Chain A
Amino acid sequence: GENVEQHPSTLSVQEGDSAVIKCTYSDSASNYFPWYKQELGKGPQLIIDIRSNVGEKKDQRIAVTLNKTAKHFSLHITETQPEDSAVYFCAARGSTSNTGKLIFGQGTTLQVKP
């Protein structure tokens, strides 16, 4: 079945450094790739997404890149701040989905040390 693999499972960086989280997907027909951030005690919230017709998208300190040939996409956070500490999930929308069904990765716990 469709699968999304996410690495690393945990990531610790110093404040101000960059953080990169990578995901690979199995369904070559997937066309939508969101990233969600889950803060402690809260549900996940969408922070950025990319579609298959775009290679890169930026929003202030966060960016996402997509390599369709290799079937992987990455989240880049620059100038990390303590409030970036959270669990991050990547996801992919399966090709057969017309109801917004997403396949999520395993999650990455990011810790930004002050």
Chain B
Amino acid sequence: DVKVTQSSRYLVKRTGEKVFLECVQDMDHENMFWYRQDPGLGLRLIYFSYDVKMKEKGDIPEGYSVSREKKERFSLILESASTNQTSMYLCASSAGGADTQYFGPGTRLTVL
């Protein structure tokens, strides 16, 4: 079974803090994705990566950056957290050329 794990289920940070969200997949997938989930807005793509050290902006990249130094790990970075970044963050992965995305359980981030 594909397993996607995220470093924290719940996280509380202060405005202005630098925040790291980590995601690890164990199936040697080429593609990895970061989404945020907000009520009434569905899943919105922040960034994705189709290879190590490669990244592409999604639909809402402002205020975020990412890092993919190893194939299995994809990190989302909030350089200076703001209250409007309070949300559920979901990581997903998929094999190169395959359609199915496998999601982690999510990290609920609260920025005070």
Measured as residues with beta carbon below 8 angstroms from the partner, the interface class of chain A is: 20 to 34
Q: How far is the CA of A46 from the CA of B99 in the complex (A)?
A: 10
A99 near B99: Cβ-Cβ < 8 Å: no
Interface residue? A42 (CB, 8 A)? yes
Q: How far is the CA of A54 from the CA of B86 in the complex (A)?
A: 40
How far does the Cβ of A91 sit from chain B's closest Cβ, in whole Å?
Answer: 8
B42 near A89: Cβ-Cβ < 8 Å: yes
B42 near A44: Cβ-Cβ < 8 Å: no
Collect the chain B residues with CB atoms within 8 Å of residue A41's CB: 105
> How many A-B contacts at CB < 8 Å in the complex?
57
Collect the chain B residues with CB atoms within 8 Å of residue A89's CB: 42-43
Knowing A41-B105, A43-B104, A99-B48 are in contact, say whether A93-B42 is a contact too (CB < 8 A): no
Residues 19 to 61 of chain B near chain A (Cβ within 8 Å): 31, 33, 35, 40-45, 48, 50, 56, 58-59
Given A6-B42, A43-B103, 14 other A-B residues pairs in contact with their CB atoms under 8 A = A9-B40, A34-B100, A42-B105, A43-B90, A44-B43, A44-B103, A45-B103, A46-B100, A100-B94, A101-B33, A101-B48, A101-B58, A102-B45, A103-B45
Contacts A/B (CB < 8 Å), 26 sampled: A1-B59, A4-B42, A32-B99, A34-B99, A34-B100, A41-B105, A42-B106, A43-B4, A43-B90, A43-B103, A43-B104, A44-B90, A46-B100, A89-B43, A99-B31, A100-B94, A100-B98, A100-B99, A101-B33, A101-B45, A101-B48, A102-B101, A104-B35, A105-B42, A106-B41, A107-B43
Residues of A within 8 A of B (CB): 1, 4, 6, 9, 32, 34, 36, 41-46, 49, 89, 93, 99-107
Residues of B within 8 A of A (CB): 4, 31, 33, 35, 40-45, 48, 50, 56, 58-59, 90, 92, 94, 97-101, 103-106
